[in-house]
Structure 1
């Protein structure tokens, strides 16, 4: 589905560009990689995330998986670490792919990928941006782009709060429905 406008890129230019033009450029570069990886049917795992995250953070090398507990929201949230944390993240991210055995709706799989990145908090910095890219990747892998993403970037969702998972899924669905409606009105 081709949206009437590129909501992700426009939001990055407006929101991230206002914070820091270099931040916006790095995220736009990562968005291009997300879309290219999705178009070739790549799987979603930590290695893919860290390849995108290198551009998000503007680092020379892809960042490593964190090796210490992480904290977010001024210390109110803590993310533990164990010897199997990275393997568990990869197993969760693998479930974002559509399979005949697990016919989970696209919006739920996209929300799950977002929340998995938030819950595992794999990087020392930029996890919300990484989660956003994971969500866009899951959609793009099935040929879906959104013409608006503001709810996805302005609201916060806690990975361990069941109602937040439902709220995020609804936000994705709202944006998807609106994108389809706009595409139909601008169509041939």
Structure 2
């Protein structure tokens, strides 16, 4: 039987003490190398130039939203996802979704988008360290799986948007993009720690190379 990964994630999400999941990080952190743009313009472009162009356009839109201090909402994600997928309209999924070759199922509940919207609002909670909020919203998008396709790409943009609101850009994002499991509280907390480490590393490299 395939477990409902969304149910598992919502349980794990409540188990983690996000307020102590990662050290507090504050901006501004301006990298020597723009890690997000370099990822899209490097490894992604080598695989699919059109996808790279769409992601860079979505990144620009996300950064513009951060410059206006716009919080994450379903409407904002939808605007980005249209660019990510190159479609005129990005519709929320209408049924169960599957990932990891069908081994992970994400169910659909009557309140799913209200619950997801609340999770997005929590990405601005000042009581939670910035790195933990960025990690949590990344996993929220992965496991709520709002769209039929492109959720991992959208999750990375949302993570970067949360950091951007804190005036932080990373100089590398590749370590973030490993397989994540909904029923893994240790892995979720470790992602918050990883992002805090990447922030500190970016700050250090900027100070020594700047």
Q: Normalised by the size of structure 2, how large is the TM-score?
A: 0.84
Q: TM-score, normalized by length of structure 1?
A: 0.93
Task: Pick which of 158-167 and 87-96 moved more.
Answer: 158-167
Give the aligned partner of residue 123 of structure 1: 147
* Aligned pairs for 1:89-100 within 5 A: 89-99=116-126
Q: Which deviates more from structure 2 when the two are superposed, residues 157-166 or residues 13-22?
A: 157-166
Aligned partner of 1:162 in structure 2 is 185
Corresponding residue for residue 55 of structure 2: 27
Q: 1:52 aligns with which of 65, 75, 80?
A: 80
Q: CA deviation at 1:160?
A: 3.2
Contact map agreement 1:119 1:160 (CA 8 A) in 2: no
User: Which residue in the other structure is 1:2 paired with?
Assistant: 30
Structure 2 partner of 1:82: 109
After TM superposition, give the deviation of residue 121 of structure 1 in Å. Answer: 0.2
Deviations 1:108-142 (A, max 9, x none): 00000001101100000001001111100100011
Unaligned runs of 5+ in 2: 1-28
Structure 2 counterpart SS, 1:38: helix
Tell me the equivalent position of 2:133.
109
Q: What is aligned with 2:194? A: 171
Using the TM superposition, give the Cα deviation of residue 150 of structure 1 relative to its aligned residue in structure 2, in angstroms: 1.0
**Residue segments in structure 1 that go unaligned for 5+ positions in a row:** none
Kept in 2: contact 1:68–1:81 (CA 8 A):
yes
Higher relative contact order structure (alpha carbons within 8 Å, sequence separation ≥ 6): 2
CA RMSD of aligned residues (A): 1.0
SS in 2 for 1:71: strand
